[in-house]
Amino acid sequence: MRVTNQMLADRVLADLNATNTRRMKIHQQMSSGRRLEVPSDDPVKVVDALRYRSNLVETEQYLANVSEARTWLDTTDSALNNITALVQRARELAVQGAVGALPQSALDALAEEVRNLRDEVINVGNASHGGRYLFSGTKTLTPAFDAAGVYQGDTGQISREVGPGVSVGINVRGDLAIKPAIDALSQLAADLAAGNTNAVGGADLGQLDAAIDTLFKYRAEVGAKFNRLELAENRLQDLSVSLNRLQSDVEDTDLAEAGVRLAEMESAYRVALSAAGRIVQPTLLDFLR
């Protein structure tokens, strides 16, 4: 087959257009800062980029779960700390009431203060976070205790996922942590009102101490979970940084590298134009005009 000037010109122009397209692609990558615009740019790297994006979304959700869990536990610890202080005050009153020389009027006054302390324990036991009651188990829309101190929650466990297959329980049940304190205060108030100083100085003090120990136990558990969440958060933040860097390496344009490639491409394009003009000068010049 005879190669005509027109065929040669068409071939040269096709090559020049292809070179110019690659040159403009590099320019576009530098302008947008993104190496991958469409899947056809690099199918393998697009798959990697999608995987990194998915992992980042998952990691950000875990971080959000950790943040919510830490806030929940912090509010829980604050409530338990307040209740502990109330029970410790009641213990001071019990020590005063255990003195047999006090008149009944003084014991009645102590009993009234203890009842007020019990009511405040119930009030703090109904603490909430974000509209959800902390100590009601999974019945978070129901106050943990009624006015008489009866537990209204359930035995459910609330957990938050902080990693693949890793969950941390965040709730403390009011029937386990707080009800013993309510019962101890109710009994103390009754014995003070009845003038039963032997019970006040014996069984009631023992019940108060047990309630305080229970509160300390659950506060220690909350603290341990809080520390675990801090470790999880640090790990997830490190993972997020790594994933962002990997995603950037795949998706973002290396401006220095792209600049070198663009300069090389533009130089090659000018040389190709000059060579093409000499090879098929009449046809090419006609096209350029």
Residue 31, pLDDT > 60, answer no
Report whether 162 contacts 232 (CB < 8 A): yes
φ/ψ bin of 165: left (φ > 0), alpha (ψ from -120 to 50), beta (otherwise): left
Tell me: do 222 and 259 sit in the same domain.
no
pTM of the model: 0.72
State the Cα–Cα distance between residues 34 and 12, nearest whole angstrom: 31
Q: How many domains does the chain have?
A: 2
Residues 119-140: pLDDT tens digits?
Answer: 999 999 999 999 999 999 999 9
- The dihedral built from the CA positions of residue 239, 162, 220 and 127, taken in this order, carries a sign that is positive
Tell me: do 261 and 241 sit in the same domain.
no
**Residue 43 counted as domain residue:** no
Exposure string over 191-211, b if 16+ CB within 10 A, otherwise e? bbbebbbebbbeebbebbeeb
159 class by beta-carbon count within 10 Å (0-12 exposed, 13-18 middle, 19+ buried) = middle
Residues 182-222: pLDDT tens digits?
Answer: 999 999 999 999 999 999 999 999 999 999 999 999 999 99
Tell me: do 168 and 107 sit in the same domain.
yes
Q: Residue 166 is part of which domain span?
A: 72-247
Report whether 229 contacts 64 (CB < 8 A): no
**Residue 61 counted as domain residue:** no
**Residue 184 counted as domain residue:** yes
Residues 239-288: pLDDT tens digits?
Answer: 988 888 887 777 655 444 544 454 555 555 565 555 555 555 555 545 45
